[in-house]
Amino acid sequence: MSLFKRLLNPKGKSEDKVKNSDHSKYYPEETLPIDERFTYNFNRNGGKFLYCENMEEILEAFDNILLENDWYERDVFCLDEMLTSRFDGFNLNFITKANATFFLSNCESLVANNGSILLCSKQIKEKKLHELPANFVIFATTSQLVENISEGLRKIKSRNKLHIPSNITTIQDFETNKEKDFMSYGSSTKNLYLLLLEDL
């Protein structure tokens, strides 16, 4: 009898679920901390995430990326002088032209709600994502985590009050074989490694 009741009354299922749960249906859903949400969404998008506690671990992880992909003695597109000096000991040829093996850069923010990387003209000048190499290595810190794109844009505006950077974009599609949907139309797929340094 109860089997037929459940089949004929699907509302009963949700009512039972509310009765059995610890909270009422009006209680706000529990959300994961911002770092866990970013990690989950970033991995779901196909990104490769390397968490490091200090610069020694960053350099070791970078070395492993080069080894895994056989990127030693290759051209690297990098526009940040701090990064070229920081990663100088790896026998790489740093160039300012986009026809390189991979793109080494920092970013503006790491967006937790969709696992994307927020970039602007400080990192990519006036280039579009499809003009950049297919492989990215992004260096970021945990203090760059934001809830959503709006918060990331507010941070850009507050840091650059006199001159707001142009060419602001996000990248969140990191799997070449992932099936595209309407929302990802026009986006550029990148093979992306994130070197995340703990700085909080």
Counting Cβ atoms within 10 Å, is residue 8 exposed (0-12), middle (13-18) or buried (19+)?
exposed
pLDDT given for residue 66 in this prediction? 97
CATH class, domain 35-175+183-197, is: alpha beta
Is 8 or 110 the better-scoring residue by pLDDT? 110
Quick check: 71 and 101 in contact, CB under 8 A?
Answer: yes
Is 14 or 25 the better-scoring residue by pLDDT? 25
Q: Where are the domains of the chain?
A: 35-175+183-197
Quick check: 182 pLDDT over 50? no
Tokens of 199: 């700085």
Quick check: 1 pLDDT over 50? no
Tens of pLDDT, residues 32-45: 899 999 999 999 99
Quick check: 165 and 122 in contact, CB under 8 A?
Answer: yes
Tens of pLDDT, residues 45-58: 999 999 999 999 99
Q: Name residues whose C-beta falls within 8 Å of residue 174's C-beta, 6 or more positions apart in sequence.
A: 42, 45, 46, 47, 48, 189, 190, 191, 192
Q: Name residues whose C-beta falls within 8 Å of residue 149's C-beta, 6 or more positions apart in sequence.
A: 111, 114, 116, 118, 170
Residue at token pair 């506690």 = 53
- For 162, what's the count of Cα atoms within 13 Å in the CB-facing half-sphere? 0
Quick check: 36 and 51 in contact, CB under 8 A?
Answer: no
Tokens of 170: 């996000």
Distance of CA 157 to the CA centre of its chain: 20
Q: Three-class SS of residue 146?
A: strand
pLDDT given for residue 184 in this prediction? 47
Tokens of 187: 């986006």
Residue at token pair 């390397």 = 50
Tens of pLDDT, residues 67-100: 999 999 999 999 999 999 999 989 999 999 889 9
